[in-house]
Structure 1
Amino acid sequence: MLSLSSSHSYYLYAAAVDMRKSFDGLCGLIRNQTDKNPASGEVFVFLNRSRTLLKLLHWEHGGFVLYYKRLEQGTFTPPLLPGAGNRIRWPELVLMIEGIQVERSIQKLRYGP
């Protein structure tokens, strides 16, 4: 069941990934290359070198879910990640998956606890 939404935390893996990796291989990358737990409920986003393949790894109740998208034409353009960390927001992920590139945007300040 597709259950991704803006309530999750999303992390873009910085390096290009061999897309032959499945659940265990991607979990190994997360454990060994970041300080995160793959079963934490966060969503991890992976791109291949040519940026035509995208995988999202997510832990749901009872097991891992792997979402996979292959582009027949064009490439995914990852968002610019300001500052430290590879956390991306839900709107940035949706724009990247849909192939929408914003040339200039301004994020208005919003209250956040």
Structure 2
Amino acid sequence: MKFYFCPEYVNMQKGIDSLCGFIRSNLMRDPFSNEVFIFMGRNKKQIKIHCCPIKLFNSSITY
């Protein structure tokens, strides 16, 4: 499992969808991978941790 610390401050009012978008666009990573993303607020007193320990979708399934 890899850990990524976001180098920028993040608005702590952001929800899961906004954080996933931030991970995709700024960190160029898959938010649903087996990785942990750590975000810190501007006041350095709050953190948010995003992790998805299991794959939600199996890409090998064909219909």
Aligned mate of 2:37, from 25, 40, 44: 44
Structure 1 residues 3-36: Cα deviation after superposition (integer angstroms, max 9, x where no partner): xxxxx21000010000011211110100010211
Q: Which has the higher contact order (CA 8 A, sep 6+)?
A: 2
Q: TM-score scaled by structure 2?
A: 0.80
Paired AA for residue 25 in structure 2: N
Structure 1 residues 23-69: Cα deviation after superposition (integer angstroms, max 9, x where no partner): 11110100010211111110000000110101110012366xxxxxx
The secondary structure found in structure 2 opposite 1:35 is coil
The total of aligned residue pairs comes to 56
Aligned mate of 1:55, from 42, 48, 51: 48
In the TM superposition, 1:3-42 aligns within 5 A as 8-42=1-35
Higher strand share: 2
**Over the residues paired in the alignment, what is the CA RMSD in angstroms?**
1.3
Q: Distance in 1 between matches of 2:53 and 2:15?
A: 16
Which ranges of structure 1 fall in alignment gaps of 5 or more residues?
1-7, 64-113
Which ranges of structure 2 fall in alignment gaps of 5 or more residues?
57-63
Structure 1 residues 59-81: Cα deviation after superposition (integer angstroms, max 9, x where no partner): 12366xxxxxxxxxxxxxxxxxx
Paired AA for residue 42 in structure 2: R
Segments ≥4 residues shifted beyond 2 Å: 60-63
Q: Distance in 1 between matches of 2:43 and 2:54?
A: 33
